[in-house]
Structure 1
Amino acid sequence: MGMEIVPMTAAHTARLAVLERLCFSEPWSEKALLEETENPTACFLTAVENGEVLGYAGMHIVLSESYVDNIAVFPEYRGRGVGRALTQALIDRAKAENGAFITLEVRASNVPAIALYTALGFQKAGVRRNFYTAPREDAWIFTLSFES
């Protein structure tokens, strides 16, 4: 069986909390992830293959605006299209909700993520100076507009 993108459930949150600690200097806790499974504005998706959690992506949709919170893939599964599939699934969901746009922030040094977002049509919309801590770094804001 190949990779599937499924809604995040309570069964995924313990493993995703491990991923959060691997990827982020200010990780979401298992409790915080679990709370998102009940949040009506949240769209959190998990990539799974043969029962194994590969990564996840989450965003919040308010009216026609979609804001990505996190996209993360376990290191051993990177380079296999997991991040692309998760990001595309978020885009598809935002469009299905009649969204006007989807936006996200990314560390300026995260070259692979920036390349992915650009390849999917996101455009750099701004910079948040010194947004990230540990280490301190600028956040680049990328937006994909659905309106012509």
Structure 2
Amino acid sequence: MQVDAVAAVRRTHQAWFAYGTRQEPLTHGIAFYSAEGTQSPELNQFREVLLAGDDPSAAWREAEDFFEARGLRCGRWVPSSEQSPQNLESFLADHGFRRVDTAALLLTAWPEASTLPEVRLLPVRAVLSQYRRMVAAQTDAVGRLDPSFAQAAEMHVDDPQMDLFVALRGGQAVGFGGLHHVGDIACLRDIYVAPQFRGRGTGRAIVAHVVALARRIAPRVICASAPAADQAALSVLRACGFEEAGRLPEFHRLTGSP
């Protein structure tokens, strides 16, 4: 069976960002926006962007007008699978956006079960306060604090499509990871180990635990997504039987840009 891991990850991303937002089709894409007026790039995006030609100007005006009319600011542009990102990249860079790629990976071999009895995986609700402290301190791939991640992470704690686990060593939260269910797809996402605890097998223990859950569910596809710049997460996923199948480009608005 031929599996398109990139399409599978794209589908899970659409469902992920649909949770907690409203969606409205526009001429050049779909606006995902916060019904409560929350100013977060995670909650205010222009997705499935498809230009009518090579000039993004009309799409830009449409998106900006839509969000401004609701007192919001669009934080991300995500091209559709049919849209070449090159036609957007320079235009959006001139408007304060940077390109951020997400790696889409497919499970091609079952990982070995964890042999680290000192690492315990608990559902997030059992250690919610520790999880919140960890995501509040999480940085992006270049070391910057990312408060939008904490906002989205808090929202998805109650997402019925997401099984989220926290890894503990000696009672201390040291990492987390989740399994996102969308139809017949199970996608690992948000695999994270705090920097001071890396290199001790914790990441592999998290992935092995989550994959074991996916295996019991028996979906058609088991895939994973991680920021293409996050070499720590990608290294763990590759060591656990995942192979990169492609990348999904996005454009993120820089903090402080007009």
TM range (shorter): 0.7 to 0.9
Identity among equivalent positions (%) equals 22
**SS of residue in 1 equivalent to 2:236:** helix
Q: Secondary structure at the match of 1:38?
A: coil
Superposed counterparts of 1:51-90, under 5 Å: 51-90=171-210
2:226 to 98, 106, 110: 106
Q: Is 1:92 aligned to 2:212, yes or no?
A: yes
Give runs of aligned pairs for residues 1-148 of structure 1, distance below 5 A: 2-9=118-125, 10-20=128-138, 22-23=139-140, 26=146, 27-29=148-150, 32-129=152-249, 131=250, 133=252
Is the CA contact (8 Å cut-off) linking 2:161 and 2:181 kept in structure 1? yes
Give SS of 2:149's match. coil
Give yes or no for contact 2:179–2:214 (8 Å, CA) kept in 1: no
**TM-score, normalised relative to structure 1:** 0.73
Query: Cα 1:12–1:99, aligned 2, differ >3 Å: closer, same or farther?
Result: farther
**Is the deviation greater in 94-103 or in 32-41?**
32-41
- Hey, which of these two has a bigger chunk of strand by percent? 1
User: In the alignment, is the contact (CA less than 8 A) between 2:188 and 2:223 conserved in 1?
Assistant: yes
Q: Aligned pairs, how many? A: 132
Q: Distance in 2 between matches of 1:132 and 1:82?
A: 31
Return the TM-score normalized by structure 2. 0.45
Any stretches of 5+ residues in structure 2 without a counterpart? 1-116
Cα distance change, pair 33–8 in 1 and its aligned pair in 2 (3 A): same
Partner of 1:142: none
Gaps (5+ residues) in structure 1? Answer: 136-148
Give how far 1:134 is off.
Answer: 8.0
State the Cα distance separating 1:84 from its structure 2 match: 0.8
Max radius of gyration: which structure? 2
| SS of match in other structure, 1:76 | helix
